[in-house]
A and B are shown apart, each in its own frame.
Chain A
Amino acid sequence: MQAMPGERRSRWRWLLYLVLAVFALYYLLPLYVMLVNSFKPLEEIRGGDMLALPELWTVAPWSSAWSSAQIGVEPTGLKPYFVNSIAMVVPAVLLSTVLGALNGYVLTKWRFRGDGVVFALLLLSCFIPFQIVLIPMARVLGLLGLAGTTSGLVLVHLVYGLGFTTLFFRNYYAAFPTELVRAAQIDGASFFRIFFRILLPSSGPIIVVSVIWQFTNIWNDFLFGVSFADVDSLPMTVALNNLVSSSTGVKEYNVHFAGAILAALPTLIVYVVSGRYFVRGLMAGAVKG
């Protein structure tokens, strides 16, 4: 490249930026279209140009999506389902992260015969197609009296998130100097004391990675929600799908878009605030970190 004459080089840079900008538009376009059209009255959407800004701005679709749109048989809007999702996500994320941290600690600093097998089984569980557990899980939730409840969904998400959280913490703690742990052991520090005093204080970044990963996955889950939830526990994704695909009455596209953005908002905010950690989580699942 340094051999290129200046003029050719700058033309090449222009082209480079142009291509990059075109792709940025491609990724932004669906979000832009949803956002713009969620502020239009329905007649304007039917009229044609989906890229145009609203001629008449209205927030009615948003308030309808949030509090009065028909979801299934009830005209409740998405609000109760948003609450359901929060009630499901918070305990599931916290429990799976705590267990993952302890597992990672044991698997790296208190190794024992066969720990490799335990880890391999946990790791493999990350990749199973969930169709394989749907039938027995429905039965077990029924037997436990958890069918159709938020607690049942918390259990499901806890179990199928453990592999990921363990993987995150194991890889992170593997790089943590074992000598420090041994020295503390010789000084008589207990198992939990070493964890809370030595490892946990330096676990900030990986806790963030684990929490974000679990939050995004559980919030975005559809299959478990649609299979195991009742009206009282339906998560946001299932409610959104019910809203969008309901076949009765006029299709209120503007309300659908407002609803879709509401469903996407929590994970989008997390991504904007801490995208760096989000990417790290993705990578840890992909390449061994």
Chain B
Amino acid sequence: MRDRLRSWLPKLVLAPSFLLILFFVYGFIAYTGYLSMTDSKMLPSYGFVGLDNYERLWKLRHWTGSLKNLAIFGTLYILVCSVLGLFLAILLDQKIRAEGVLRPIYLYPMALSFIVTGTAWKWFLDPGIGLEATVQSWGWTSFEFDWIKDRDMAIYTVVIAAVWQSSGFVMAMFLAGLRGVDGDIIRAAEIDGASKSRIYRRIIIPMMRPVFLSAFVILAHLAIKSYDLVVALTGGGPGKATEVPATFMYSYTFSRNLMGIGAASAIIMLMMIFSIIVPYLYAELHAGRKVER
């Protein structure tokens, strides 16, 4: 009896967490999936309508516009963060004396809430009072920077703020990668007379492939999830110019009372994230197992 208890104890300890996750994550995903095929409006209802909500969703310009914004935002966000992160990491890796001061300065925005970041940048980019007004007050009176009020440019202000927040983190990832490069390889290349820039282009940067991949996965899933920053910075506006799937889901579910469509949009978001993250995690876990053997 005691032995049986003993062999069950570890599983008993793990069970509460497992059951919580099973119910609150996977059960909820199933429930939202089911709701997306019902005629739920303000409250869940269970009249089955098949894929109608998905069909209606893809006909909504509000939704396709959100996806387009996400595509612009996500692509630029990932691209600029990666390039800037790698660039700063390489500069910091040149035996910089002030590294201990600079690194935390580059990274601290990551500790802030997106609401704080949004508040700061919203004001900074506000033409009436922020950067534009400041530069004009210095005498350059024709200076204009009003992207945040411009339907065509507003989505780029989200990129600016998001890059400010996350690029330091990508820098830290690349810096850790650079520090892991075997010094012997570089010394050997130097002896062969290769220039510094050539060593970086031909040897070191190609070795950063796993970091690029991790950065891509992390940034892509952050981009698809981003909600707070858009709410705080632009509120989805002007008009619907900066709506993204996350804000779309919220407004359709809770303000417009079209819960079936809201649920369908959440399912699409989940599929986007899983199509990136599942192969990545599978490869990571698989690689780990190989090493153990």
Contact = CB atoms under 8 A, between A and B. Distances in A.
A240 B130 contact: no
B176 interface: yes
B44 A26 contact: no
A121 B210 contact: no
Nearest to A222: B228
A31 B94 contact: no
B269 to A, nearest CB: 4
Interface in B1-51: 6, 9-11, 13-14, 16-18, 20-22, 24-29, 31-32, 35, 44
Interface in A13-28: 16-17, 19-20, 23-24, 26-28
B119 A20 contact: no
A160 B109 CA distance: 23
Nearest to B276: A127
A268 interface: yes
B137 interface: yes
Contact of B227 (A2, A102, A128, A222): A222
A58 interface: no
A231 interface: no
Contacts of A103: 13-14, 17
Nearest to A127: B277
Given A129-B269, A286-B218, A136 B31 contact: yes
A241 interface: yes
Nearest to A102: B13
Given A30-B120, A48-B134, A285-B218, A128 B20 contact: no
Contacts of B92: 20
Contact of A121 (B21, B31, B190): B21
Range of interface residues on A (Cβ < 8 Å): 35 or more
A136 B28 contact: yes
Contacts of B253: 134-135
Looking at chain B's contact residues, the main secondary structure is helix
Contact of A222 (B28, B114, B124): B114
Contacts of A203: none
Contact of A287 (B88, B113, B210, B225): B210
B25 A128 contact: yes
Interface in B208-224: 210-211, 214-215, 218, 221, 224
A99 B94 CA distance: 42
Contact of B231 (A23, A137, A241): A241
Contacts of B80: none
A106 B173 CA distance: 29
Nearest to B277: A127
A240 B231 contact: no
Given A135-B35, A136-B32, A222-B115, A49 B134 contact: yes
13 contacts: A29-B124, A34-B119, A105-B13, A129-B270, A132-B267, A133-B24, A135-B266, A241-B119, A241-B232, A267-B111, A279-B107, A287-B176, A288-B284
Interface of A: 1-2, 16-17, 19-20, 23-24, 26-31, 33-34, 45-51, 99, 102-103, 105-107, 110, 112, 116, 118, 120-125, 127-137, 139-140, 158-160, 162-163, 166, 190-191, 216, 219-220, 222-223, 227, 237, 240-241, 244-245, 253, 256-257, 260-261, 263-264, 267-268, 270-272, 275, 278-279, 282-283, 285-288
